[in-house]
Amino acid sequence: MLNLRLILASLTSVLLMLIGLAGNATGDTRFGADSPPLVGFNARIHPEYSYQGMVASSETLASEVGARILEQGGNAVDAAVATGFALAVTYPSAGNLGGGGFMVVHMQQSQQTVAIDYREVAPQASNRDMFLGANGEPDPELSRVSMKAVGVPGTVAGLLYALEKYGTMSREQVMQPAIALAENGIEMSFFLNDALKGRFASRLRENDASRSYFFKPDGSPYKPGETWVQKDLAKTLKRIAANGRDGFYKGPVANAIVAEMERHGGLITHQDLTDYAVYERAPVRAQFMGYDIVTMPPPSSGGVHLIQMLNILEGYALKDLAPNSAAYLHLLTEAMKYAYADRSKHLGDPDFYPVPTEDLISKRYADQIRSRIDVTHATPSSEIAPAESFPRESTQTTHYSVIDQHGNVVSNTYTLNGSFGNGASVTGAGFLLNNEMDDFSAKPGSPNMFGLLGGEANAVEPRKRPLSSMTPTIVFKDGEVVLSTGAPGGARIITAVMQIILNHLVFEMNIADATLQPRIHHQWMPDQLFFEPGISRDTLNVMERMGHTLGNMPFVIGNSSSVAQRNGVMSGLSDTRRPGGSAVSVEMIRSQSSR
């Protein structure tokens, strides 16, 4: 009888949520200091739990690599670096050596939180008109699939910087698992097989090196379950393990990169590789409902606009609204429009352009925007423009999150930009190249591959870093980490991260429930509200009557990997919007070892 009552209660909770009347019914309302650490029975989905450390990433083998490093005594940074190199082997559509990214690191004992910028850089030979065709208009082929689309890679330098400054293990220790995976081979997954025989196949086959790496000698893809060996990538990883960044930015690997450029009209030179620098920046910070949000600063636009939207929404009684009700989604949509309008004008590389970060994340500016929002009707995007002044006051990317038993946390997002980058690999070195230069504005007002508009702040310049939407974020309460999250998805990253944070903090959902709720996305232009399956049709009808134009969403909105911590218990989830990921705990690794 008890089980029957529990089942009926759960079904009632889900039904109420679906019709938009559940309020906080789907969440765990027991997050107080004296509450039990685990969620109640009314949660629809449960995460993986741990006391000893956890890694959540988009690929299970890579998560296991990181968790095994934690089990061996490494800290969160050691595990994050090991996971990053492992993803270069097991998740080649986004895990990489030839791309770049952003990492937010928190060291609990010192209470130090830093942002590590290892974003790709425009080669010295770049110029602002390099992606314009003969007609003076942007040519997507140049910025997305040509060798000129490749920015100077930052991933190797960034991971090694983090390890050397904040890790405890040697390069050889954290890189050996990735080397073994590449050298001994991994089992071809259904997910990767589908990509290699699907829409990415022709682009990869056009490049000799990519064809030899990803396909059999007869040109056919490896079947699920077959062993895929990456000998050239293993050699590159060994060089990095032995020689540090010089194993990539100098010597045989650097020679191979430059030779690839020269063969196909690329711009990267030996000097570009030697000069690449990792920057440690101060994160952007804000308070939201008593929580401290710490996230990535420019050249990421993600952190600035995440905080801008949270500031706007903090002025509403969100907890009185039902999650994913029309009233709630309307407020989110309006906040998104204003943030993405400002993104189009004000965001770029802060070393080249004076980004008004403090103005954009100020509470007074949020108050000003909120005063323009009609809570009953949509404001057309044509009536929303980037701010001219501020009130003064006195797609394919992957994310992973790591937490260790000492409370150290890493939130890391890195990318090749498009899935499999520009499709070209480095002959003899075993890795793909990025097409990150498409994240610059080829021409003011022209959209990139994600439909995002940009202006002078993000114009192409030598040694400049292109604007990004990557939003690795850590949330604190009273000095303790409560959440590390982030997502891939191009333009959709910022809105996905915001909705996970709101679900977890406002509606007190566990991290699994918070992650798997259906999401919406609006990026100002085009003036369309995109939504995932699971949003009630009745809710969408109300949104249309409020003046929102609904758009077709061809992709999911983000694919996050998050870890959370409440009352000493860690929890984690790899988003199921893409197959193959896992949150792996130290306890799981020990259980495997004991079998």
* Rounded CA separation 234/85 (Å): 11
Tokens of 475: 């949330």
The most distant pair of C-alpha atoms in the chain lies apart, rounded to whole Å, by: 75
Predicted pLDDT at 24: 37
What are the pLDDT digits (tens) for 100-140?
999 999 999 999 999 999 999 999 999 999 999 999 999 99
Residues 397/94, Cβ–Cβ less than 8 Å: yes
**Which stretches of 315-412 are DSSP H helices?**
326-346, 357-360, 363-370
Is residue 426 one of the residues assigned to a domain?
Answer: yes
What are the pLDDT digits (tens) for 341-368?
999 999 999 999 999 999 999 999 999 9
Q: Is the pLDDT of residue 8 over 80?
A: no
Reading phi first (left if > 0) and then psi (alpha if -120 to 50, else beta), residue 481 is in beta
The larger pLDDT score, comparing residue 32 to residue 440, is at 440
* Rounded CA separation 515/529 (Å): 20
Tokens of 454: 């940009």
Is residue 237 one of the residues assigned to a domain?
Answer: yes
Residue 386: pLDDT band with limits 50, 70, 90:
confident
Q: Is 397 known to be catalytic?
A: yes
Residue 451: pLDDT band with limits 50, 70, 90:
low
Predicted pLDDT at 448: 66
Predicted pLDDT at 44: 80
* Helices 76-90 + 60-71 axis angle, to 10: 150
Tokens of 187: 């089992």
In the chain the first and final C-alpha atoms are separated, in Å, by: 37
Tokens of 93: 């559509």
Predicted pLDDT at 593: 81
Is residue 397 one of the residues assigned to a domain?
Answer: no
Residue 183: pLDDT band with limits 50, 70, 90:
very high
Predicted pLDDT at 406: 97
Q: Is the pLDDT of residue 4 over 50?
A: no
Residues 307/301, Cβ–Cβ less than 8 Å: no
From 113, 397, 415, 539, the catalytic residue:
397
* Rounded CA separation 174/156 (Å): 13
Is residue 199 one of the residues assigned to a domain?
Answer: yes
What are the pLDDT digits (tens) for 157-181?
999 999 999 999 999 999 999 999 9
- pTM, two decimals, is 0.91
By mean pLDDT, which of 154-168, 444-458, 515-529, 579-593 is the weakest?
444-458
**DSSP designation for 132:** B
- pLDDT mean across residues, the chain: 90
Q: Is the pLDDT of residue 40 over 70?
A: no
Please compute the mean of the pLDDT values over residues 284-297 and round it to a whole number. 98
* Rounded CA separation 543/233 (Å): 50
Rg (CA), the chain: 23
Tokens of 72: 């061996």
Please compute the mean of the pLDDT values over residues 445-463 and round it to a whole number. 76
By mean pLDDT, which of 40-44, 456-460, 576-580 is the weakest?
40-44
Is residue 236 one of the residues assigned to a domain?
Answer: yes
What are the pLDDT digits (tens) for 18-28?
333 333 333 34
CB contact set of 12 (below 8 Å; sequence gap of 6+) = none
Please compute the mean of the pLDDT values over residues 322-343 and round it to a whole number. 97
Residue 454: pLDDT band with limits 50, 70, 90:
low
Domain holding 89, by residue range, is 72-101+125-280+417-456
In the chain, % of residues over pLDDT 70: 90
Is residue 407 one of the residues assigned to a domain?
Answer: no
Is residue 55 one of the residues assigned to a domain?
Answer: no
Total number of domains in the chain: 1
